[in-house]
Every structure is written in C-alpha cells, then in structure tokens.
C-alpha cells in the first residue's frame, strides 16, 4: 500500500518538507532560507501540492526529496515561484544583467546562507571558508557578485556626514549601486543594527555614484528577532534614491 503526502514550499520555491502530514515537526510558517511565507496548497484551487510517496513497511534511505512543481496538476495554474524562476533564467543571460541589478543582488543574498552551509560540506573534511566575521561575508559575496558584474569596487570612501566618514563595502559603478554588508554578533543586535543602518543611509544618499543602496545583513545566529520589521522600517524608495534592507536568514 502506498499514499502520497503533501509538500510545503515557500513563495520563492524553496521546499521545507515533502512530508507535511506524516512529519508535521518539519512544517514552517516561514522559510528559513529567504523568510517568505510557506504554502502546502495551490492558491488557485486549494488542492494539496503533491509530496513524497510513502510505502508501508518501507524505509527510504536515499535522502532524495520530491521536486517542486511549477504548475498545479489539478487546475493548471502557475505556482507563485514559477515567474521568479523564469526571471532568474532570463536575467542570468549575460546580455540582460544590466536590466535589473538589484534583483540579481537580491538573488545572491537570498541564497547566501545556503551557499555558506554548502561550503562546509567538502570531500574528506578539506579546509573551507567558515563565515566567522564581516570580512568573511564580504569575501564570499564579492566572489558571488563576479558571476553577474564586471566592475566591482571594494571599500569606496563616502562623503562626510555629521563630521565623520565611512566606507561602503562594494560599489557597482555602472549600475550606481552600493552594497553595504553587516554580520550580526553579540554587540550588533537589532537595536545597534538599526542605528548603524540609519547613519549609513544618510551617508550613502550623498554619494555621487549611488542611486540605490542594498544593505545585506547576515544573521546566521538569529540575533535579530524581527527581521521583517527592520526591513520594512528602513527600506524605502525616493525619487532619486532607493534603499533595500535584506536580513538573511529569517524565521529563527
């Protein structure tokens, strides 16, 4: 005898479990990779998203998971993540990178925690990069940015603000984007993080080559209890200056 379970997937297409009913302990309200809300039913027709096939008296030791579908097999509607996957594929073409730099930066940041964890899984326990401080985050993200961008300028000086000056982490001059990187720690939790970002935003607004500021905060230990709140409070879009704050991972 066999029965088909249901899978739970976030709105960005990350699967959290393919045994929604048989292993409820793995259910999550929000994705720990990107922070998006999860669903286990088609938003259009309400039918469960097909998950793992479970056979009685059979233990699956393969470790494989059910693939995430793009279309509901009951009503034919697109799942929310299908359009994003299409856009990723389209923008990944070299001739289209300039069309949406912020989308591509966001894609790399959303997957940063997955990449950091994967780097630890090396053959025969060979040395790897452990993300221990802000400089490690900078080094890894710098390498990832080279997938899409050619002119990446590290540590550009920014204009003075209130008698002081600061350095941004990366300037994408052609795209007029500055990427500010932070890693939380015992002395840099939500309150201190918010205060620093407010000052940084005031700095970068005066930068002649900055039309968009992307603040990437890496929080693997979960020091920020309400990442969505900080993102919503500090992200903004003015006429000539856009700010995006992205805290990864979420859902601790």
Q: For the chain, which residues make up each domain, given as ranges?
A: 1-77, 92-248
Q: What is the percentage of the chain residues whose pLDDT exceeds 70? A: 87
User: Contacts for 220-228 with beta carbons within 8 Å, 24 or more apart?
Assistant: 220/113, 220/116, 220/131, 220/249, 221/184, 221/185, 222/252, 223/184, 223/185, 223/186, 223/188, 223/189, 223/190, 224/184, 224/189, 224/190, 224/193, 225/190, 225/252, 226/190, 227/35, 228/35
pLDDT over 90 at 158, yes or no: no
Q: What is the pLDDT of residue 163?
A: 58
- CATH number at 92-248: 3.40.1350
| Confidence band of 86 (pLDDT split at 50, 70, 90) | confident
pLDDT over 70 at 252, yes or no: no
């Amino acid at each position: 005898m066999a029965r088909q379970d249901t899978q739970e997937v976030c709105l960005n297409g990350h699967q959290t479990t393919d045994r929604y009913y048989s292993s409820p302990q793995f259910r999550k309200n929000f994705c720990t990779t990107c922070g998006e809300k999860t669903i286990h039913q088609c938003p259009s027709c309400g039918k469960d998203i097909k998950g793992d096939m479970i056979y009685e008296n059979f233990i699956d030791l393969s470790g494989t998971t059910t693939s995430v579908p793009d279309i509901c097999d009951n009503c034919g509607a697109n799942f929310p993540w299908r359009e994003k996957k299409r856009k990723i594929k389209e923008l990944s073409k070299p001739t289209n990178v300039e069309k949406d730099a912020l989308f591509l930066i966001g894609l790399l940041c959303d997957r940063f925690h997955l990449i950091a964890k994967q780097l630890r899984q090396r053959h025969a326990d060979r040395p790897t990069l452990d993300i221990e401080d802000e400089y490690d985050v900078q080094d890894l993200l710098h390498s990832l940015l080279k997938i899409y961008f050619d002119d990446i300028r590290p540590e550009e000086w920014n204009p003075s603000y209130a008698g002081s000056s600061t350095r941004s982490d990366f300037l994408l001059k052609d795209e007029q984007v500055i990427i500010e990187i932070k890693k939380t720690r015992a002395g840099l939790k939500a309150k201190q993080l918010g205060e620093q970002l407010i000052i940084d935003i005031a700095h970068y607004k005066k930068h002649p080559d900055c039309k968009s500021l992307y603040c990437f905060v890496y929080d693997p230990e979960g020091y920020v209890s309400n990442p969505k709140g900080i993102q919503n409070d500090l992200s903004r879009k003015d006429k000539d200056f856009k700010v995006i704050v992205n805290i990864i991972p979420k859902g601790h």
